[in-house]
């Protein structure tokens, strides 16, 4: 497969007081026709993540039609699991209810930060969402002893599936933690049963981090795009396939997209989100500096 880049579609650059840097974790919501709401997570001057959005016509993706005036989610109250940041990750429609699965940031202990997965609920196709409660829907536990983040959530039949990163080790708090990808299931999308083993594990000798799974269930197989980095290389886009969504085989050489030779996405491409529209398959992704360089859009070229 090969992705054709359509260019950078947005860069956070102080457009709002709470929108000072980063354009991280993009994901798309169709609003009808060619109009899409593109959700992303900028940071304020205190480096705290918020959930924001732009609206675009996907046939002219570099023209922003609307930009959020206020954050849909801001950092939570003191003592909450999202007290120092609320970073979006995935949106699921369940009947007339929309569910934002998001990442809560906090500093509850000796580590520089803690991550857990929260849920905010909304209705129709609006931008107003309310937290389901002060507690996350998935946090550290027996299968995930340190912390969890970057959920991808799909409802297939009567079963809810979540793929997410799980921090496996943090040997030196002055250095980034190590994390792979895990899978959990549930009956309601709120109470989850994590599986004890990774579904995407380290393969490269220096690999230390695998994040932001983006899963699509096609007729012939499940497909996943994700990002991975090592001690000696920045985030690249990886790829895997599965017959059941549980057991995966990595095929990173087939991801079909790489950093550019120069410019805003020449050092890193990260946090992929893959979606279909009008017979085409698209990928949103973040650029250099974990999204400091902005977010871009690519389309899968037809065979």
Contact 23, 285 (CB under 8 A): no
The encoded tokens of residue 120 equal 């905010």
**Mean pLDDT (whole number) for 279-290:** 98
The encoded tokens of residue 83 equal 């007290």
Smallest CA-to-CA distance from 56 within 34, 89, 27 is with 34
Rounded-to-integer distance, Cα 188 and Cα 194, Å = 14
User: 34-60, pLDDT tens digit by residue?
Assistant: 999 999 999 999 999 999 999 999 999
**Mean pLDDT (whole number) for 142-171:** 95
User: 230-268, pLDDT tens digit by residue?
Assistant: 999 999 999 999 999 999 999 999 999 999 999 999 999
Q: Considering the chain, what percentage of its residues have pLDDT values greater than 90? A: 91
Q: Per-residue pLDDT for 125 more than 90?
A: no
Rounded-to-integer distance, Cα 209 and Cα 180, Å = 6
Which of the residue ranges 90-94, 121-125, 154-158, 184-188 would you say has the lowest mean pLDDT?
Answer: 121-125
CB atoms within 10 A of CB 242: 18
276 φψ region: left (φ > 0), alpha (ψ -120 to 50), beta (else): beta
Q: Return mean pLDDT, the chain.
A: 96
**Mean pLDDT (whole number) for 181-186:** 98
Q: What is the pTM of this model?
A: 0.96
CB atoms within 10 A of CB 191: 11
pLDDT for 237: 98
32 φψ region: left (φ > 0), alpha (ψ -120 to 50), beta (else): left
pLDDT for 174: 84
Q: Per-residue pLDDT for 137 more than 80?
A: yes
pLDDT for 126: 85
Rounded-to-integer distance, Cα 131 and Cα 85, Å = 13
Beta strand 21-32 with 159-169 is unpaired
Domains along the sequence of the chain with CATH = 3-300 (2.115.10.20)
Q: CA 252 → CA 178, 186, 241, distances in Å?
A: 19, 29, 10
Give 148's pLDDT tier (boundaries 50, 70, 90): very high
């Amino acid at each position: 497969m090969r992705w054709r880049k359509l260019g950078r579609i947005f860069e956070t650059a102080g457009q709002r007081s709470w929108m000072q840097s980063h354009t991280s974790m993009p994901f798309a919501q169709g609003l009808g026709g060619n109009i899409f709401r593109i959700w992303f997570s900028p940071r304020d001057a205190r480096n705290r993540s918020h959930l924001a959005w732009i609206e675009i016509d996907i046939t002219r993706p570099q023209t922003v039609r609307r930009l959020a005036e206020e954050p849909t989610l801001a950092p939570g109250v003191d003592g909450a699991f999202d007290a120092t940041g609320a970073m979006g990750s995935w949106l699921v429609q369940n009947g007339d209810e929309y569910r934002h699965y998001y990442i809560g940031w906090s500093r509850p202990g000796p580590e520089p930060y803690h991550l857990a997965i929260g849920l905010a609920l909304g209705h129709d196709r609006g931008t107003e969402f309310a937290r389901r409660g002060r507690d996350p829907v998935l946090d550290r536990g027996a299968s995930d002893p340190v912390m969890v983040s970057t959920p991808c959530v799909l409802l297939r039949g009567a079963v809810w599936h979540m793929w997410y990163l799980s921090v496996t080790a943090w040997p030196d708090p002055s250095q980034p933690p190590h994390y792979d990808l895990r899978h959990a299931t549930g009956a309601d999308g709120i109470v989850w049963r994590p599986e004890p083993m990774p579904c995407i594990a380290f393969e490269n000798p220096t690999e230390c981090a695998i994040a932001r799974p983006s899963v699509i269930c096609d007729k012939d197989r499940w497909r996943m795009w994700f990002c991975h980095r090592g001690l000696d290389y920045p985030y690249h886009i990886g790829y895997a396939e599965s017959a059941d969504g549980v057991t995966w085989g990595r095929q990173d050489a087939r991801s079909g997209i790489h950093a550019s030779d120069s410019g805003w996405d020449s050092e890193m491409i990260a946090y992929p989100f893959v979606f279909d529209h009008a017979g085409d398959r698209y990928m949103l992704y973040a650029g250099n500096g974990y999204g400091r360089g902005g977010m871009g859009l690519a389309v899968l070229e037809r065979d």
